[in-house]
Every structure is written in structure tokens, then in C-alpha cells.
Amino acid sequence: MSTRFTALAVLTALLTGLVAAGSAAPTGKWRAEDIDGGGVIDRLQTTLEIGDDGMVTGMGGCNRYAGSAKFDATTIKFLPMASTRMACSPAVMKQESKFHATLEKVRAWRVDQVQRKLVLLDGQGFEMMRLSQMD
């Protein structure tokens, strides 16, 4: 009987996590883990912070940026970002450029609250970027 109870508890926890994952918002502070299937440079802080009002700020890896996004329960569109213009190593600049180009292609989002991930998707539902929640 305890095995059945444990299995039921695990199933309930999984289902609760799935329901909660669909009810979150893309707001908060996130760190990029993968950009367009190419990973990211270790220890490089590419961040994205989305406010409840749609204001967007962060660090591309070398430069700070700011702008806005329009989002609802499942869709999101990032508007053009303003950025500082500092120069860094070619690898860092390449990742930062890829980050901004990828944001322009994003059209949808989902949050996995269990794993604390924000997944940004293109218009066809393909994963474009995966970010982890920052504390």
C-alpha cells in the first residue's frame, strides 16, 4: 500500500509541476544556457531581465542593453534594443550578436517552473533559446 501511495504522490507532484509550468510568466531575471542550439561560453554572463511592464534589460556578454517586449500568456515579441558599444574579444562579440539576432526571431515562450527555465521559441515552436532563472 505504501508503494501505491508513493507512486500516487510522485504522479501528483509531476502533474502539479506541469500545470504550474504553463501558468507562469516570462518575467524575472534569466541567464542564457543555450542560444540557437550552439550553447554559450562558460562563465560569460548573457542575461535577460523582463519586467511585469515589458521593460527588458540585461547584459549581452560585453554590453548592457535595454528595450521592451510585448507578451501575453504564450507569445512574446522583443522590440529593438539599445545597447552600449564596448568592444570585447571576438568570441564574446559573436555570442552577443547571436543573442540579439535570436531575440529578434523569438515569438513564443514557456516556463518550466520545476527546472526554473525560460524557453524562447520561434513562430514554428522550435526552441531558440533556453535560460535559467537567476536568484
User: pLDDT tens across 14-71, in order?
Assistant: 444 443 444 478 999 999 999 999 999 999 999 999 999 999 999 999 999 999 999 9
Instruction: Give the domain extent around 110.
Output: 2-133
The alpha carbons of the chain give a radius of gyration, in whole angstroms, of 17
Torsion 64-70-75-78 (CA) sign:
negative
Q: What is the DSSP letter of 133?
A: E
Query: Domain count of the chain?
Result: 1
- Asked if pLDDT for residue 104 goes beyond 70, the answer is yes
3-state secondary structure (DSSP) of residue 71: strand
pLDDT bin (cut points 50, 70, 90) of residue 135 is: confident
At 57, which CATH number?
A: 2.40.128.270
Which residues are bridge partners to 127 per DSSP?
121
Cα separation of the two ends of the chain: 40
